[in-house]
């Protein structure tokens, strides 16, 4: 089968990892090509790509490249006449995929991992414009695709309400062997944390991730587990996020937790794996719209017990008391109770880890994800 993947920007992230891993495995038996606009080149972070990547010439001027998907990119449709199927994971190329389907009769599968949320920003009109455009690109993809794939029932239900479409749930997967390793004691020594119990958060430093809820919970947990420390890994605050970052720093100072919370910023993948290996507990306190939470799979694959809020698609992944613990969205007191429960109960911790591994092997292996995806291809190609 000849498959064209219309990919997101080749950098680390759940949607990219999903497309990349599926394409990598399919490339063993099929012809696979990754397609994106040339303006995405400067954002590329992935280096070792085991299949062909083609960048389409695009309009590079700001604002004009927002309307390029409507009249410029679709003109490339003829070069895809030898393909059997188009699988898009990026809204920006949905009009091109739609034209290929209409003019050449080639089936179009669309995977979406998000539903845009409107947030008017009076001092940055570009963000408001982008919201409307992405929503339209998404709508066109959903309307014209032969099948729509979502990672969780939460996203599936959002699309049903917003666009009245029935989608197929296929979760993102995980390569467990990348994360499963013995604790990196040398790295822990380098951080000067050999005698610390480490709580880990991985994600963007923004309010919707609920980091302030975790810091408030940490303040309570520290009364029972005094040698605890929170490591926050995520993108360094941009000017837009700076206000929230400063709020977190003030909160930390107010609670006297300056020595108990460390922001490590963005770190290399190998360092991230080492950090997972030394963590005693992973917490994802998201307040809203956590579509799946790949970091939960990463933590569970690293044999780290997880506590997460009941927000968004998280309950699709975490069965409370089985492969992790859930707490009510925004309730830092309940979160602190769940954290203490795991930190003080080794039997509970071990049972959660054991069950998490079993669920990953049954549901989240890439081989399983690819098999389900290929079944959809064959239905239409």
Does the pLDDT at position 55 exceed 90?
A: no
Tell me the torsion sign for CA atoms 292, 51, 148, 162: positive
Q: What local confidence, expressed as pLDDT, does residue 58 receive? A: 86
Q: What local confidence, expressed as pLDDT, does residue 127 receive? A: 62
Confidence label for 340 from pLDDT (cuts 50, 70 and 90): very high
pLDDT in tens, 71-122: 898 999 999 999 999 999 988 899 999 999 999 999 999 999 877 654 434 3
Q: What local confidence, expressed as pLDDT, does residue 124 receive? A: 40
Does the pLDDT at position 50 exceed 70?
A: yes
Does the pLDDT at position 15 exceed 80?
A: no
Secondary structure (3-state) at 313: coil
Tell me the C-alpha to C-alpha distance, in Å, between residue 49 and each of 19, 53, 235, 275: 12, 8, 24, 25
Same domain, 137 and 193: no
Same domain, 290 and 335: yes
pLDDT in tens, 300-321: 999 999 999 999 999 999 999 9
Tell me the torsion sign for CA atoms 156, 157, 162, 163: positive
Same domain, 279 and 341: yes
User: Count H helices, E strands: the chain?
Assistant: 15, 13
Check if the beta carbon of residue 54 is closer than 8 Å to that of residue 33: yes
What is the distance, to the nearest Å, from the Cα of residue 126 to the centroid of all Cα atoms in its chain? 24
Nearest Cα neighbor of 175 from 359, 303, 21, 355 is 21
Same domain, 207 and 113: no
Same domain, 162 and 255: no
Calculate helix-pair angle for 242-254, 211-221, nearest 10 degrees: 10
State mean pLDDT over 50-56.
83
Distance of alpha carbon 379 from alpha carbon 108, whole angstroms: 12
Does the pLDDT at position 210 exceed 90?
A: yes
Range of the domain at 103: 2-173+365-380
Same domain, 285 and 355: yes
- CB burial of 20-29 (b: ≥16 within 10 Å; e: otherwise) equals bbbbbbbbee
Check if the beta carbon of residue 218 is closer than 8 Å to that of residue 228: yes
In the chain, what is the greatest distance between 2 CA atoms, to the nearest angstrom?
Answer: 66
List, as one string, the DSSP characters of 107-167: -EEEE----------TT-HHHHHHHHHHHHHHHHHHHH-SEEEESSHHHHHHHHHHH----
For the beta carbon of residue 67, count every other beta carbon within 10 angstroms. 12
Q: What local confidence, expressed as pLDDT, does residue 12 receive? A: 58
Sheet with 2-6, strands from edge to edge, namely 52-56, 31-37, 2-6, 85-88, 108-111, 147-150, 168-169
Confidence label for 163 from pLDDT (cuts 50, 70 and 90): confident
Same domain, 107 and 240: no
Q: What local confidence, expressed as pLDDT, does residue 119 receive? A: 43
Q: What local confidence, expressed as pLDDT, does residue 361 receive? A: 95
Same domain, 194 and 321: yes
Distance of alpha carbon 307 from alpha carbon 293, whole angstroms: 12
Confidence label for 162 from pLDDT (cuts 50, 70 and 90): confident
Q: What local confidence, expressed as pLDDT, does residue 174 receive? A: 94
Check if the beta carbon of residue 302 is closer than 8 Å to that of residue 279: yes
Distance of alpha carbon 89 from alpha carbon 18, whole angstroms: 9
- If you ran DSSP here, which 8-state letter would residue 61 be given? S
- Residue 255 pairs in a beta bridge with none
Tell me what percent of the residues of the chain surpass a pLDDT of 70: 91
Same domain, 113 and 255: no
Check if the beta carbon of residue 369 is closer than 8 Å to that of residue 173: yes
E strand or H helix at 316, and its extent?
Answer: helix 314-317
pLDDT in tens, 348-373: 999 999 999 999 999 999 999 999 99
Check if the beta carbon of residue 278 is closer than 8 Å to that of residue 183: yes
Residue 155 — φ and ψ, nearest 5°?
-70, -40
What is the distance, to the nearest Å, from the Cα of residue 63 to the centroid of all Cα atoms in its chain? 27
Q: What local confidence, expressed as pLDDT, does residue 236 receive? A: 64
Check if the beta carbon of residue 190 is closer than 8 Å to that of residue 169: no
Same domain, 169 and 181: no
What is the distance, to the nearest Å, from the Cα of residue 345 to the centroid of all Cα atoms in its chain? 30
Q: What pTM value is reported for the model?
A: 0.89
E strand or H helix at 87, and its extent?
Answer: strand 85-88
In the predicted model, what is the mean pLDDT of the chain? 89
Check if the beta carbon of residue 135 is closer than 8 Å to that of residue 129: no
Nearest Cα neighbor of 276 from 222, 201, 339, 225 is 201
Distance of alpha carbon 378 from alpha carbon 58, whole angstroms: 32
Same domain, 138 and 186: no
State mean pLDDT over 29-33.
93
Same domain, 146 and 207: no
Where is average pLDDT lowest: 57-71, 79-93, 145-159, 254-268?
57-71
- CATH number of domain containing 87: 3.40.50.2000
Split into its structural domains, the chain has a count of 2
């Amino acid at each position: 089968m000849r498959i064209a993947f219309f990919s997101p920007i080749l950098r680390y992230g759940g949607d990219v990892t999903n497309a990349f891993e599926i394409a990598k495995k399919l490339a063993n038996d099929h012809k696979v090509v990754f397609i994106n606009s040339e303006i995405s080149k400067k954002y590329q972070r992935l280096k070792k790509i085991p299949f062909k990547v083609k960048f389409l010439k695009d309009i590079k001027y700001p604002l004009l490249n927002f309307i390029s998907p409507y009249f410029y990119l679709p003109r490339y449709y003829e070069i895809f006449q030898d393909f059997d199927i188009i699988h898009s994971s990026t809204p920006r190329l949905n009009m091109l995929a739609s034209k290929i389907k209409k003019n050449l009769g080639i089936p179009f599968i669309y995977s979406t991992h998000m539903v845009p949320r409107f947030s008017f920003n009076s001092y940055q009109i570009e963000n408001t414009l982008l919201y409307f455009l992405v929503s339209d690109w998404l709508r066109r993809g959903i309307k014209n695709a032969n099948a729509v794939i979502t990672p969780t029932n939460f996203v599936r239900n959002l699309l049903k309400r917003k666009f009245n479409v029935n989608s197929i749930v296929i979760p993102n997967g995980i390569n467990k062997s990348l994360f499963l390793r013995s604790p990196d004691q040398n790295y822990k020594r380098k951080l000067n944390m050999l005698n610390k119990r480490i709580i880990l958060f991985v994600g963007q430093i923004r309010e919707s991730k609920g980091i302030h809820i975790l810091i408030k919970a940490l303040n309570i947990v520290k009364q029972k587990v005094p040698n605890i420390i929170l490591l926050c890994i995520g993108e360094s605050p941009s000017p837009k996020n700076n206000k929230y970052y400063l709020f977190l720093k003030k909160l930390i100072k107010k609670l006297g937790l300056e020595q108990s919370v460390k922001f490590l910023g963005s770190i290399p993948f190998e360092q991230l794996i080492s950090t997972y290996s030394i963590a005693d507990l992973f917490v994802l306190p998201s307040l809203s719209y956590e579509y799946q939470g790949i970091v939960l799979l990463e933590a569970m694959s690293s044999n780290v017990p997880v506590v997460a809020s009941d927000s968004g698609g998280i309950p699709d992944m975490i069965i409370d008391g089985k492969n992790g613990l859930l707490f009510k969205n925004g309730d830092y007191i309940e979160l602190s109770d769940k954290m203490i429960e795991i930190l003080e109960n080794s039997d509970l911790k071990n049972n959660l880890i054991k069950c998490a591994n079993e669920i990953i092997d049954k549901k989240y292996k890439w081989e399983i994800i690819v098999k389900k995806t290929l079944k959809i291809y064959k239905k239409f190609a």
